[in-house]
Structure 1
């Protein structure tokens, strides 16, 4: 048996690392053998070495060793401190395997339990307690062992209590490093060495609790560990350490929240960078600390939220809950160690909702006030007869730009404070009313029709396009119904502005329109006069801002083309014979090209308008009924709003087409429209004639 014990410890200086599973296994076997010898020889009753009430692993081995034959002492090296630093060096001069005279005579200082506590070697001190406990209670019934060794058990309990007290003190110093000490290797080393030993001692004792449940009450050091850290965190949140002052002008509530948040941030960083190294990975100590700080901060913020807060404190509290605190947990140093989602919200919904409602009402009111102020300023400038400002060569209104800036800034800030885009969007609910008042302002400008009205409407158009662009590209800023309603108002305003600006153009072109559909329209110079007048009118739109210039020119392009077709279909000209119809086809085709070139040069991109006139010209030229049917089908396919009345008016220009033939051609269009439906991207033209 003894040889089995000795085989566990080779001939080398004993190290504390040897006090592990192999040692305890061999020691248990050794203890059983010793007890057998003791029972067979009552005179060999073992005594427990004692020095001022303390014991050492060495004294424990000495007494058991004598009971087992006395020779094991030579095989088991003692825990000792060498009194002369040259002993190890002297050993190098001997190669025969025997100790030197200096080594034999070197005094040994035995490390007692108290010595280990003094040196803060807690895990080793705990192992002494565990070894002593196994020695007392191993191999016999627990009840019998407890009865036979009651005095020793009390001594063990006292020593365990002393160790426990020091462990608690060590845990309470877990976060004692100052922020500037985290990068100081010496300071970090002192803390981590002691804390690592304490954590190891706690884990050792947890396992020991499972072995001797009948002999003593469990230490429950794991629970003690958790409660100690909980009290530590509570204390640090109640009394944050002095740090950099927060922003000036903070209220007492804001200062308290700021200091707690700063303490939380510093401590979690210390946990991840320092404390984590003292724990085994499976302990998940970073998440444990994060949950403690989360609970502590949450409890304190709940108390603050119960008060009636002014708007500034309300915003500050919401921002900490929804922005600053999540931002701390998202720091790169913490993200990989802490599961922020598992922690949940700092405040429950029943406390958040009234705070958010207070904040959202304030934001909505402020935004509405800002928007109204901008619109009233625009009204005032108009009433005073001031001309709108220009930008990029065109009239602009600051109204849209200013309002868009307010909306973008306040919705973005509200989303940050509330943590919800949906809630942030609600502050724009009054935007629909503002658009209605903007529309009413434009209608008033048109109604007065003063000299400045043209410039103001052009400026308004730039604002309409800016608003439309925002509703299209920044949809996230608005609720769907607000966006939809505002776009409808803007569409009405654009249509009204275009009509106001273009009416004067059509009024100037009316004498030239009147010649269309008469015998003069086939004359080249008649249409050239129309083009010349149109070109002059187009120069009046050069002061349109680029954002709305193309829209106005495109609208005019379409309306001139529609007026051309309207006059043509309503004319009283009769095209007799193939030659006259071919001349008419050539005239319409040339007119289409001339219109296209003029409008294309001034910015219109409505190329499809040219194709309408070309297709109409083809109808005028064709003579065969089947060919005419095919051309009408092509025209009806491209423009589904083409009706039989339009085809009938067009065919009446051809005097050589009889009424039955016109009926056959129109029937072809009817059949087509019954079998097909209009595509979403088709242009509407004939329905506006």
Structure 2
């Protein structure tokens, strides 16, 4: 790691953790504006008595150190300090006790070094120094109390072990993250940066769990030592990551760091053992907002490029197969293309993952911008397929319909994955593709049916055989759609159902037939009702759900049968109210079929319908029908 101008001499950057953190904690724990005397009942010298012989005191002090009884050793030194302070005068202390003062300072320095050494071993995996650490922490608390007394007496020579404690743990954490012992061997495909960050993460997790399981018991609950350690690790890790992201990172390292910072690192603190001990929100962000934004832009740009590359590849494969004259794949006897499925899975996984990485669905949605380009190029390819009209074109149109249906469902059901503009534009392109594919597949059917269409609305139409031929031809033509993907076959058959019904009404309204007698009109009504039922049975058997089309023919048939003008008015208004796209010219053509209806009556009926439609609420009604005729 590089040394900065604000770094300490040992090469570490100073971490902005308050140097008085532990002191503040201790003072809150102690909570005395005028601290009580240090507990020295067992080791204090009674008034008027002589202090222990130096040799005896030194032996006891050494025994305490050898037994890692740091609290007792500290208490002994404080007793010696208090004994020296009680001497009668400054002159006496200077003349007779200088050697004892020097010895006291040396002993305290020795004790301090052992306490520091104990703190440095707090996270050692081998052995358990809990008892020694507990005693060291008590010694630090004891020295803090004594420092409060020293300040009150005007003494400037303070031990400040609480500051020493914080700086020691800070150095300990820095050492462990700079040279992590956990998981040093990264995956083979990882860069040095990725391996190092991952190792630091493992070290952090293992150390914090050790703090919770072992170190925590050595401190009083008020110290919140687990959170203190978490703060040190967070700040040290943040410093290391800031150094790393200052360099130009390749895309893989950029994505790894972003994923690690936003997904893996927060996940560490979801561990049940850590969750109740650490205030994660108080830790803050590992990286500043500006650094995160730069990483996000690079990551999302890379994901966009990956999506564009992937969609190019799958479309090129589709075009290549068609160019070579190959038939599309089949599954369960139906023509299929895996283009939509592959793209859908890719987008779904990519956006879902990106949302976790950048912690924003709105940002993750921007990955999908290349999808519109795919749709537009897919549409161009389909137009080329139709234009060339090769032997395999019909099969490809059936497969394309399946893809269009899959894309459309995906865009409708997974709206959260896309910006609204991308979704709407893609749906428009898909609607055009569906229209052209259906036209290509259904136009030949209408061409075959044209001879039978021509007999509708003529005298031959009233004969049963004429319409039966249309049904037989239609049933035969419908068999060619058995290999259309199941998800869109129903809609294709329903579309043909409507187009045939529209052609039926169109031919009827041409006016080639004049029904003068009541008997003729009743016969025409019966024929239409029978035709409507036959069409409905045939198409529903093939999968159509457009049963409402039968009702239109029946309503028209009722108009032909009725003789009373008011009854005809009611029926025409019912027809127009149900289907508001019914036009006046179409009503005129229908009424002209009834040759016994006067011009005045026709005018009255049309006026009634016009008034009814004016009162109708805009947007009401059923499916559009007459607007297609």
Please state which band the TM-score falls in when normalised by the shorter chain. 0.7 to 0.9
Q: Is the 8 A contact 1:28 1:135 kept in 2?
A: no
Residue 30 of structure 1 deviates from its aligned partner by: 13
Q: Does 1:339 find its partner at 2:342?
A: no
Q: Does 1:199 find its partner at 2:202?
A: no
Q: Does 1:664 find its partner at 2:604?
A: yes
Residue 153 of structure 1 deviates from its aligned partner by: 7.7
String of CA shifts for 1:52-106, please: whole Å, max 9, x gaps. 3838xxxxxxxxxxxxxxxxxxxxxxxxxxxxxxxxxxxxxxxxxxxxxxxxxxx
Structure-1 separation of matches of 2:54 and 2:296: 69
1:51–1:607 Cα change, 3 Å: same
* 1:166 paired residue among 89, 111, 114: 114
Q: Does 1:246 find its partner at 2:186?
A: yes
Secondary structure at 1:333 match in 2 = helix
Q: Does 1:522 find its partner at 2:462?
A: yes
Structure-2 separation of matches of 1:384 and 1:357: 41
User: What does residue 340 of structure 2 align with?
Assistant: 400
Give matches, 1:376-387, under 5 Å.
376-387=316-327
Give matches, 1:182-193, under 5 Å.
187=127, 190-193=128-131
Structure-2 separation of matches of 1:668 and 1:489: 42
Structure-1 separation of matches of 2:621 and 2:227: 57
Residue 532 of structure 1 deviates from its aligned partner by: 0.9
Q: Does 1:484 find its partner at 2:424?
A: yes
Secondary structure at 1:637 match in 2 = helix
* 2:486 paired residue among 538, 546, 551: 546
Q: Is the 8 A contact 1:396 1:545 kept in 2?
A: yes
String of CA shifts for 1:499-539, please: whole Å, max 9, x gaps. 11000001111111111122222222221111111101101
1:309–1:623 Cα change, 3 Å: same
Residue 540 of structure 1 deviates from its aligned partner by: 1.0
Q: Does 1:47 find its partner at 2:50?
A: yes
Secondary structure at 1:112 match in 2 = helix
User: What does residue 17 of structure 2 align with?
Assistant: none
Q: Is the 8 A contact 2:40 2:75 kept in 1?
A: no
* 1:112 paired residue among 60, 69, 72: 60
Residue 133 of structure 1 deviates from its aligned partner by: 6.7
Structure 1 unpaired stretches of 5+: 1-20, 36-44, 56-110, 179-186
Secondary structure at 1:246 match in 2 = coil
User: What does residue 259 of structure 1 align with?
Assistant: 199
Secondary structure at 2:553 match in 1 = helix
User: What does residue 215 of structure 2 align with?
Assistant: 275
Q: Structure 2 length normalisation: TM-score? A: 0.85
Q: Is the 8 A contact 2:579 2:621 kept in 1?
A: no
Q: Is the 8 A contact 1:170 1:194 kept in 2?
A: yes
Residue 381 of structure 1 deviates from its aligned partner by: 1.8
Residue 678 of structure 1 deviates from its aligned partner by: 4.1
Larger radius of gyration: 1
Residue 339 of structure 1 deviates from its aligned partner by: 3.1
Structure-2 separation of matches of 1:197 and 1:510: 102
Secondary structure at 2:55 match in 1 = coil
String of CA shifts for 1:480-503, please: whole Å, max 9, x gaps. 222211111111000100011000
Secondary structure at 2:546 match in 1 = coil
What is the total number of aligned residue pairs between the two structures?
Answer: 589
Secondary structure at 1:274 match in 2 = helix
Residue 147 of structure 1 deviates from its aligned partner by: 8.9
Structure-2 separation of matches of 1:503 and 1:298: 67
Structure-2 separation of matches of 1:537 and 1:134: 112
User: What does residue 39 of structure 1 align with?
Assistant: none
String of CA shifts for 1:446-482, please: whole Å, max 9, x gaps. 1122322211211211221122222223333332222
Structure-2 separation of matches of 1:654 and 1:157: 125
Structure-2 separation of matches of 1:599 and 1:27: 99
Structure 2 unpaired stretches of 5+: 1-31
User: What does residue 591 of structure 1 align with?
Assistant: 531
Residue 224 of structure 1 deviates from its aligned partner by: 2.4
Q: Is the 8 A contact 1:146 1:153 kept in 2?
A: no
Structure-1 separation of matches of 2:208 and 2:621: 59
User: What does residue 500 of structure 1 align with?
Assistant: 440
Q: Is the 8 A contact 2:258 2:296 kept in 1?
A: yes
User: What does residue 391 of structure 1 align with?
Assistant: 331
1:619–1:223 Cα change, 3 Å: farther
Q: Does 1:647 find its partner at 2:595?
A: no
When the two chains are superposed, the root-mean-square deviation of aligned CA atoms in Å is 3.3
1:575–1:339 Cα change, 3 Å: farther
Q: Does 1:605 find its partner at 2:545?
A: yes
Residue 28 of structure 1 deviates from its aligned partner by: 10
Following TM superposition, where does structure 1 have runs of at least 4 consecutive aligned residues deviating by more than 6 angstroms? 24-31, 131-138, 144-150, 152-156
Residue 648 of structure 1 deviates from its aligned partner by: 2.7
Structure-1 separation of matches of 2:389 and 2:351: 37
Q: Does 1:438 find its partner at 2:386?
A: no
String of CA shifts for 1:236-269, please: whole Å, max 9, x gaps. 1111126452111433323322322221122122
Secondary structure at 2:129 match in 1 = helix
Q: Is the 8 A contact 2:379 2:429 kept in 1?
A: yes
* 2:257 paired residue among 307, 312, 317: 317
Q: Does 1:290 find its partner at 2:230?
A: yes
User: What does residue 454 of structure 1 align with?
Assistant: 394
1:673–1:211 Cα change, 3 Å: farther
Secondary structure at 2:190 match in 1 = coil
Structure-2 separation of matches of 1:578 and 1:508: 34
Structure-1 separation of matches of 2:419 and 2:182: 45
Structure-2 separation of matches of 1:506 and 1:376: 33
Q: Is the 8 A contact 1:640 1:673 kept in 2?
A: yes
Secondary structure at 2:563 match in 1 = coil
Residue 680 of structure 1 deviates from its aligned partner by: 7.0
